[in-house]
Amino acid sequence: MSTVRGAAGATRTCPHCRTVILQSASVCPACRKHIRFDSSASAAATSQSSFSPLRVEGSIRHPDAGEAWEYSVLVSIKNERGDEVARQVVGVGALQPGEARSFTFSVEVFTPGDKR
């Protein structure tokens, strides 16, 4: 028996940070705050397993000379036909000469424990 509320893929808004998240989440992946504390949420958390089929880590370093440049991260999600279904831009800000930033991008999958 699945303890996930609603249909797979159903979304809702995190009451803390207002990010659209999966309805089945008991912790918001954006702000990492707990969403539900009821007993069914505890059961869902313990019967649910997760894994990351994609994880990319990298870093950029601004050249040591010259002026500051502005950087952004663009995430584009496309379906099997190549249609863009979601697009998000995250501002990294300006990097001064010699400054660096590191990035981690991961796709997390949550499955009911009894179906894996």
Q: Report the pLDDT value the prediction gives residue 25, as an integer from 0 to 100.
A: 79
Within 13 Å and on the Cβ side, how many CA atoms surround 90? 8
Locate 98 and state its tokens: 């010699």
Identify whether 50 is part of a domain. Answer: yes
**Rounded Cα–Cα distance for residues 34 and 57 (Å):** 26
Q: Report the pLDDT value the prediction gives residue 37, as an integer from 0 to 100.
A: 60
User: Residues 40, 24: contact at Cβ < 8 Å?
Assistant: no
Number of domains in the chain: 1
Q: Report the pLDDT value the prediction gives residue 116, as an integer from 0 to 100.
A: 38
Identify whether 4 is part of a domain. Answer: no
Identify whether 6 is part of a domain. Answer: no
pTM of the predicted model over 0.75: no
- In which domain, by residue range, is 36 found? 11-115
Q: Which residues of the chain have pLDDT under 70?
A: 1-6, 36-49, 112-116
Q: Report the pLDDT value the prediction gives residue 32, as an integer from 0 to 100.
A: 81
Q: Report the pLDDT value the prediction gives residue 40, as an integer from 0 to 100.
A: 53
Q: Report the pLDDT value the prediction gives residue 46, as an integer from 0 to 100.
A: 47
